Amino acid sequence: MAMQAMQATEVQQADAAPLMALDGIRFAWRRGATPVLALDRFHIDAGERIFVSGASGSGKSTLLALLAGIHQPQAGTVRWRGASLAGYSGARRDRFRADHIGIVFQQLNLVPYLNVLDNVLLACTFSAARTRRAREQGASVAEAAGMLLGRLDLPAPLWKQPAGRLSIGQQQRVAAARALLGRPELVLADEPTSALDAARQAGFMDLLQRECHAAGASLVFVSHDARLAEGFDRRVSIDSPTAEATP
Ligand SMILES: Nc1ncnc2c1ncn2[C@@H]1O[C@H](COP(=O)(O)OP(=O)(O)OP(=O)(O)O)[C@@H](O)[C@H]1O
């Protein structure tokens, strides 16, 4: 009975915890060097859309790498639904990322010689959980990918084209579809609009926010361009040395 009560309490705590919580974070590239990122508190609630601004070199990409479990801080805690990632091996962090996080990189990171559809399907290659959730979105993973591509204004005639032959704007939408396939709980975007003109930037921001909302995903979008912050639930600046990123 006592055990059942304890398990119930743990479940309640996990439910109450933010989706992701960074506390007391200090990250330096070399041991003993001055931290390039110092964040006292950065919490992400489920479904929340956060815009992170900061000057070039302020640590925005570093923050995303910590959220994605690519790097680990020298001090502080990174928790996912209340559970610390600190004891995870590299392989377990890779699996955690594949299962729960969609990433749109600054350089997009598409495989140029693979076709559009295969680039999107890569999201599920390393994750049974993403594959299962994608199948719930469509009759098959490929159908779910096609539905997403369609909603992102990439019609079927483009799907068999090598990704490297698409325009930058089209490639950005392919990268967004890959990040969203299989409904990850968290989407991270690292200045993916920097190569677009203002009108296309606005269009892409609308699409990304709309699709994250439809999937129930939280979104952390980093950019030095504060004009893109419209429509987000919260804005956070990481320019100050120990940014306090509370609502
Ligand atoms: N692999 C690395 N090794 C050593 N230092 C690095 C490495 N990557 C980034 N840095 C340094 O860490 C600091 C933060 O870099 P980061 O890329 O996180 O900043 P950013 O805010 O994303 O910049 P930008 O807006 O220009 O992309 C910078 O001083 C940068 O030079």
The answer, yes or no, to whether residue 3 has pLDDT greater than 90, is no
- What's the structural domain count of the chain? 1
Nearest-angstrom CA–CA distance, 32 and 74: 10
Contact predicate 166/114, CB 8 Å: no
Question: For 113-139, what is each residue's pLDDT tens digit?
Answer: 999 999 999 988 889 999 999 998 878
Residue 5 lies in a domain: no
The answer, yes or no, to whether residue 9 has pLDDT greater than 50, is no
Nearest-angstrom CA–CA distance, 26 and 62: 11
| Interval 44-67 mean pLDDT | 94
3-class secondary structure per residue, the chain = CHHHHHHHHHHHHHHHCCCEEEEEEEECCCCCCCCCEEEEEEEECCCCEEEEECCCCCCHHHHHHHHCCCCCCCEEEEEECCEECCCCCHHHHHHHHHHHEEEECCCCCCCCCCEHHHHHHHHHHCCHHHHHHHHHHCCCHHHHHHHHHHHCCCCHHHCCCEHHHCCHHHHHHHHHHHHHCCCCCEEEEECCCCCCCHHHHHHHHHHHHHHHHHHCCEEEEEECCHHHHCCCCEEEECCCCCEEECC
CA-64 nearest atom, ligand 1: 18
Distance 133 CA to ligand 1 centre (A): 34
Angle between helices 141-151 and 116-125 (to 10 degrees): 120
Q: How open is the CA angle 28-234-205, to the nearest 5 degrees?
A: 95
Structure pTM? 0.88
Nearest-angstrom CA–CA distance, 68 and 100: 9
Distance 196 CA to ligand 1 centre (A): 22
Q: Residue with the nearest Cα to atom 1 of ligand 1?
A: 29
**Ligand 1: residues within 6 Å at CB?**
29, 36, 54, 56-62, 224
Residue 216 lies in a domain: yes
Residue 196 lies in a domain: yes
Question: For 71-87, what is each residue's pLDDT tens digit?
Answer: 999 999 999 999 999 98
The answer, yes or no, to whether residue 246 has pLDDT greater than 60, is no
Q: What is the CATH number of the domain that holds 42?
A: 3.40.50.300
| Interval 218-227 mean pLDDT | 92
pLDDT of residue 15: 59
CA-222 nearest atom, ligand 1: 22
23: tokens are: 């506390």
CA-62 nearest atom, ligand 1: 18
Residue 7 lies in a domain: no
Residue 9 lies in a domain: no
> 201: domain range?
17-245
Nearest-angstrom CA–CA distance, 50 and 52: 6
This complex has an ipTM of 0.96
Residue 2 lies in a domain: no
* 40 Cβ neighbours under 8 A, 6+ residues apart: 23, 24, 25, 242, 243, 244, 245
Residue 3 lies in a domain: no
99: tokens are: 């299962």
pLDDT of residue 218: 97
Residue 6 lies in a domain: no
Distance 68 CA to ligand 1 centre (A): 16
Distance 110 CA to ligand 1 centre (A): 22
